[in-house]
């Protein structure tokens, strides 16, 4: 069948987001209860007096993770967190998870036990129920596909598309750490390959390693916002880098934005490691993925309330679409924000 | 990590169902709204005045399908139907679907368009909303992971575990056709491989080819049952063969069963093709998978009502667990029912 296809457009031409858009445009919806389909962190479905949130993520060995340094238990934990984070990013509460695994026969049962142990730890931590799944053989490698359900009160749900001009752009935690952890693990893998007698030099880098190997979803930030009676005007989780996610908010809300480089929160170990790799720390934050922090906007009148939430930084504001998405450098120079985040097809 | 695992138990030792059971036993559930987790066709979650049903299925190239004869549009259609059938088997209505695809770069965008076209056809036919998903590169082949939501009124949901002794065992449609279609396609592939000038000889076999390449979920049977005011006492869809599914009903309901070979519905083309392959037609029905018919039990007092539903056959009844799961042959001989259905790990 593949050979017979007359026209051939390479997947890399569209890229991951372009491909999803291309395949799912013009979709017809039948159920009046389907409020939001493709295009946000989760689908939104009316269910009684609440909204049901549904999301799914795929993790492929060799594309999303390298088992030569990624412990299986951590992989299971992270796979669950990635899904949980999608529900959190809608301002929702994660509830039920399904897990599908395809594995080649090079994996013993004990390897799957490790993965499930990690998933279970995440389920315990976030109080999520593992309710089903599927297992299959694969010809090569390990593939994890998780789907999650959550819920949220109708007046609490937060979309990507509802930011307004002048809203403050905020981010939780610090950025770029997961990417620097990955760079470090990759470097030590190459060193080990070149000389197997070398022991990996990971001392003092616990923070960025943990950012990569054991990310957390920011349920705590959602709680802080709720306690402080702040409802974000828009929100997304940072899985592909700050630049890519800020551009999603801009596109979906039909706005531009201004982000101030000096305001982007970067941990000192992340910054040191970036410089060691000859990279501006801000580049790691803008383009490095997998931090699973929250990027959200709040009304200007919430400025004081949001300022006191620990671990939240105001990094800019939303502008008219005509102004574009801009990064204002430390020197006052302005450059357009470009998504150079991670793309599975590139 | 894999090399370091001290103990090594081969996946094939547990098999697919054993593995799922092994990995998901002792799972703790946190949400009071989670009514049923692992162990039925779908998870069941309370959502307002209805129950939400959630299920997921994984299809792996080379394990579940062979693209040398499986058209991509049909594959998409079937992937959706497999999931829809899980919701139907809970006596529910399918509502929302997510689709995740991992593909190697040998696939062009046009190939994915074909798959999505098939998924969309199924969504149109069953009035299901495609609401999300994920795409990724893969190192080898094509992997589809679909998750589905459905709903059902609380007093309408049907589990595998609620059959009672004496209940009549019923099946919709006819069985073994999808398996015989697969055998035929595999045979013609081998013929073609041996001599590429040979054209596949598929004339007159439309029925079994359609059973394999374009299966349908039996939403019509569910409607008939509802119209005739019959609520099955238990139900499952037949994805892995009659024997395997009947044993699931027995195990989950803590019962035995008696199935009469002469009552098993088999189409004449299925039977002819089975004999051509030197196989008893009943074996194709018992062990051949992918028919996606419904296997269900009803109370004896529903005998007359269920008898008049077109396309439903009564093939036996449920017994005490001590009597075991038995097949009564045409000659009156009794053999234990054994699941020799399809297992991805064997």
ipTM for this prediction: 0.92
Chosen from B94, B118, B129 to mutate, greatest number of chain A CBs within 10 A: B129
Least reliable range by pLDDT among A168-177, A260-269, A333-342, B210-219: A333-342
- Cβ atoms within 10 A of the Cβ of B228, count? 14
Q: Sheet holding A168-172: strands in order across? A: A234-237, A294-298, A168-172, A312-319, A256-260, A325-328, A334-336
Could you write out the DSSP letters of every residue in A59-93? EEBTTTB-TTTS-HHHHHHHHHHHHHHHHHTTT-E
Yes or no, beta carbons of A27 and B130 under 8 Å apart? yes
Q: With contact defined as beta carbons under 8 Å apart, do A100 and A148 qualify?
A: no
Yes or no, beta carbons of B111 and A139 under 8 Å apart? no
Residues in A closer than 8 angstroms to B120, CB to CB, are 27
In this prediction, residue B344 carries a pLDDT of: 63
**Rounded distance between C-alpha atoms, residue A322 and residue A206, angstroms:** 43
Angle between helices B109-126 and B72-88 (to 10 degrees): 30
Q: Which residues contact A99 (CB under 8 A, 6 or more apart)?
A: A79, A116, A119, A130, A132, A133, A144, A145, A146
In this prediction, residue B197 carries a pLDDT of: 87
B111 token code pair = 């190939």
How far B295 CA lies from chain A's nearest CA (Å)?
A: 21
Mean pLDDT of A238-242: 95
Yes or no, beta carbons of B105 and A133 under 8 Å apart? no
Chosen from B87, B134, B148 to mutate, greatest number of chain A CBs within 10 A: B134
pLDDT at B201 over 90: no
Residues in B closer than 8 angstroms to A29, CB to CB, are 129, 131
**B293 φ/ψ angles, rounded to the nearest 5 degrees:** -80, 170
pLDDT: which is higher, B137 or A238: A238
pLDDT, one tens digit per residue, over A302-342 is 999 999 999 999 999 999 999 999 999 999 999 999 987 66
In this prediction, residue B1 carries a pLDDT of: 42
* A93-103 and A129-137 beta bridge pairing: parallel
pLDDT, one tens digit per residue, over A197-231 is 888 878 889 999 999 999 999 999 999 999 999 99
In this prediction, residue A202 carries a pLDDT of: 85
Nearest CA to A300 among A252, A245, A233?
A233
Yes or no, beta carbons of B139 and A141 under 8 Å apart? yes
Third-level CATH fold of B31-153: 60s Ribosomal Protein L30; Chain: A; (3.30.1330)
Residues in B closer than 8 angstroms to A12, CB to CB, are 105
Residues in B closer than 8 angstroms to A49, CB to CB, are 48
Q: What percent of the residues of chain A are helix, what percent strand, and what percent coil, each to the nearest 5?
A: 35, 25, 40
Residues in B closer than 8 angstroms to A110, CB to CB, are 5-9
Mean pLDDT, chain B, rounded, equals 93
Mean pLDDT of A103-118: 93
Mean pLDDT of A157-172: 98
Mean pLDDT of B98-105: 93
Q: Which residues contact A272 (CB under 8 A, 6 or more apart)?
A: none
Yes or no, beta carbons of A1 and B29 under 8 Å apart? no
| Nearest CB to A135 within list B6, B16, B116 | B16
pLDDT, one tens digit per residue, over B233-247 is 999 999 999 999 999
Q: With contact defined as beta carbons under 8 Å apart, do B292 and B238 qualify?
A: yes
| Nearest CB to A10 within list B43, B64, B108 | B108
> Alpha carbon B53 to chain centroid distance?
16
Q: What sign results for the dihedral spanned by CA atoms B242, B245, B246, B247?
A: positive
Residues in A closer than 8 angstroms to B139, CB to CB, are 60-63, 140-141
| Nearest CB to A48 within list B50, B110, B135 | B50
A126 token code pair = 């976030």
In this prediction, residue A1 carries a pLDDT of: 43
How far B149 CA lies from chain A's nearest CA (Å)?
A: 9
How far A16 CA lies from chain B's nearest CA (Å)?
A: 7
Yes or no, beta carbons of A30 and B127 under 8 Å apart? yes
Which residue's entry shows tokens 């359900």?
Answer: A149
Nearest CA to B212 among B173, B163, B178, B165?
B178
Yes or no, beta carbons of A130 and B27 under 8 Å apart? yes
Third-level CATH fold of B168-336: Phosphoribosyl-aminoimidazole Synthetase; Chain A, domain 2 (3.90.650)
In this prediction, residue B345 carries a pLDDT of: 66
Yes or no, beta carbons of A137 and B34 under 8 Å apart? no
Residues in A closer than 8 angstroms to B133, CB to CB, are 20, 24, 38, 56
Which residue's entry shows tokens 């000096």?
Answer: A262
In this prediction, residue B79 carries a pLDDT of: 97
pLDDT at B262 over 70: yes
* pTM given for the model: 0.94
Q: Which residues contact B105 (CB under 8 A, 6 or more apart)?
A: A10, A11, A12, A345, B137
Which residue's entry shows tokens 């009684």?
Answer: A48
Yes or no, beta carbons of B102 and A136 under 8 Å apart? no
| Nearest CB to B11 within list A70, A107, A149 | A107
* A325-328 and B34-36 beta bridge pairing: unpaired
pLDDT at A2 over 50: no
Q: CA-nearest residue of chain A to B126?
A: A30
Chosen from B22, B38, B69, B137 to mutate, greatest number of chain A CBs within 10 A: B137
Least reliable range by pLDDT among A335-344, B154-163, B252-261: A335-344
Q: CA-nearest residue of chain A to B67?
A: A1
| Nearest CB to A131 within list B34, B116, B140 | B34
Yes or no, beta carbons of A135 and B33 under 8 Å apart? no
> If 0-12 CB within 10 Å is exposed, 13-18 middle and 19+ buried, where does residue B206 land?
exposed
pLDDT, one tens digit per residue, over A272-281 is 999 999 999 9
In this prediction, residue B340 carries a pLDDT of: 76
Yes or no, beta carbons of A132 and B37 under 8 Å apart? yes
| Nearest CB to A116 within list B23, B28, B112 | B23
CATH 3.30.1330.10, chain A: domain bounds: 31-153
A308 token code pair = 């006191």
3 state DSSP class of A331: coil
Mean pLDDT, chain A, rounded, equals 93
Residues in A closer than 8 angstroms to B20, CB to CB, are 133-135
Size of interface A-B (CB pairs under 8 A): 312
In this prediction, residue A344 carries a pLDDT of: 64
Q: Sheet holding A129-137: strands in order across? A: A34-36, A43-47, A50-60, A142-153, A93-103, A129-137
Chosen from B73, B109, B110 to mutate, greatest number of chain A CBs within 10 A: B109
Q: With contact defined as beta carbons under 8 Å apart, do B290 and B179 qualify?
A: yes
Please name every residue paired with A60 in a beta bridge, in sequence order, or none if there are none.
A143
How far A228 CA lies from chain B's nearest CA (Å)?
A: 26
In this prediction, residue B2 carries a pLDDT of: 46
Yes or no, beta carbons of A2 and B37 under 8 Å apart? no
- Cβ atoms within 10 A of the Cβ of A322, count? 7
């Amino acid at each position: 069948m593949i050979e017979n296809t007359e026209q051939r457009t390479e997947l890399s031409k569209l890229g991951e987001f372009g491909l999803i858009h291309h395949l799912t445009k013009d979709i017809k919806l039948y159920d009046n209860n389907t409020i939001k389909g493709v295009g946000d962190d989760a689908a939104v479905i009316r269910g009684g007096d609440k909204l049901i949130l549904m999301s799914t993520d795929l993790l492929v060995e060799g594309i999303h993770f390298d088992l030569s340094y990624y412990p299986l238990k951590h992989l299971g934990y992270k796979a669950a967190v990635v899904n949980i984070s999608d529900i959190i990013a809608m301002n929702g509460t994660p509830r039920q998870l399904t897990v599908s695994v395809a594995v080649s026969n090079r994996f013993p049962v004990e390897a799957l036990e490790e993965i499930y142990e990690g998933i279970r730890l995440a389920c315990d931590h976030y109080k999520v129920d593992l309710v089903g799944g599927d297992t299959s053989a694969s010809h090569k490698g390990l593939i994890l596909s998780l789907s999650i359900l959550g819920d949220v009160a109708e007046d609490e749900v937060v979309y990507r598309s509802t930011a307004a001009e002048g809203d403050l752009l905020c981010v939780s935690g610090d950025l770029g750490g997961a990417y620097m952890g990955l760079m470090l693990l990759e470097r030590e893998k190459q060193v080990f390959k070149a000389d197997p007698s070398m022991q990996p030099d990971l001392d003092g880098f616990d923070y960025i390693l943990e950012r990569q190997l054991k990310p957390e979803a920011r349920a705590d930030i959602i709680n802080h916002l709720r306690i402080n009676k702040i409802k974000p005007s828009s929100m997304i989780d940072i899985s592909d880098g700050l630049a890519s996610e800020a551009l999603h908010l801009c596109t979906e809300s039909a706005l531009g934005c201004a982000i101030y480089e000096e305001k982007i929160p970067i941990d000192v170990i992340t910054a040191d490691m970036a410089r060691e790799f000859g990279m501006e720390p801000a580049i790691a934050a803008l383009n490095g993925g997998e931090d699973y922090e929250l990027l959200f906007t709040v009304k200007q009148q919430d400025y004081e309330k949001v300022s006191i939430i620990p671990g939240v930084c105001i990094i800019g504001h939303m502008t008219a679409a005509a102004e574009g998405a801009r990064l204002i450098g430390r020197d006052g120079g302005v450059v357009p924000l470009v998504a150079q985040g991670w793309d599975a097809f590139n």
